[in-house]
Amino acid sequence: MDANEDLSPRFMDVNEDLSPRVMDVNEDLSPKVEVHAELIELACSSGIKPKASHELMSREAGGRADFGFIELDRMIIDNDNFGDVVAFDTTYGTNKELRPLGVFTGFNRHRGLMVFGAALLYDEMVDSFKLLFESFLVAHAGKKPKAIFTDQDPAMAKTLNEVMPNTYH
């Protein structure tokens, strides 16, 4: 590190482009993401707050667009480590259209809440749940939870029997 380097907090330029970078479909980010995930875990276990470690690593990578690690990656890594038992619940009335919000959650080894995914649904019908559960599995490379706790909605139960037949619910 250069002794003259400015370590003061950086304020975002109002003209800075924060839109997602379009990736080449052949670009493989998995090695970069794995390295960053390991560094974030190391920083957290060392007492460095996640926001500070993320800022440091994105600066080292040349900016947020080149960092190669986004919040979705965090959900995937958390689900891979702690997604054997998942709770799925839908909540009504949290948005102006009164649509159900479905959230997949679980706990880490320190009893901390982990969010594995979320979706705003149109309704609580079999077709909506089927699309949601299939999309969840695609996002998590097909990893199915061993058990999933639900509110025992009949449409949800039917869909889980179809999409995740070996998962207890």
**Cβ atoms of 82 and 108 closer than 8 Å:** yes
Query: Tell me, what amino acid is at 114?
Result: M
Query: Tell me, what amino acid is at 109?
Result: R
pLDDT at 25 over 50: no
Q: What is the mean pLDDT of the chain?
A: 75
More confident residue, 113 or 24: 113
pLDDT of 43-87, one tens digit each?
777 887 766 776 777 777 776 655 555 555 677 778 788 888 999
Pick the CATH number of 75-163 from 2.60.120, 3.40.50, 3.30.420, 3.90.25: 3.30.420
Tokens of 32: 């970069």
**Cβ atoms of 52 and 88 closer than 8 Å:** no
**One-character DSSP codes across 8-58:** SPPPPPTT---SPPPPPTT---HHHHHHHHHHHHHHHHTT--HHHHHHHHH
pLDDT of 142-160, one tens digit each?
889 999 999 888 999 999 9
- Say how far apart CA 53 and CA 75 lie, in whole Å: 17
DSSP 8-state class, residue 66: G
pLDDT of 80-132, one tens digit each?
888 889 999 987 666 777 888 899 999 988 888 888 888 888 888 999 999 99
Domain ranges within the chain, ordered by starting residue: 30-69, 75-163
**Cβ atoms of 143 and 116 closer than 8 Å:** no
- Say how far apart CA 56 and CA 111 lie, in whole Å: 27
**Cβ atoms of 145 and 83 closer than 8 Å:** yes
Q: Helix axis angle, 154-163 relative to 126-139, nearest 10°? A: 40
This model's pTM is above 0.85? no
Q: Please give the pLDDT value at position 53.
A: 72
Residues whose CB is less than 8 angstroms from the CB of residue 157 and which lie 6 or more positions away in sequence, other chains included: 150, 169
More confident residue, 23 or 96: 96
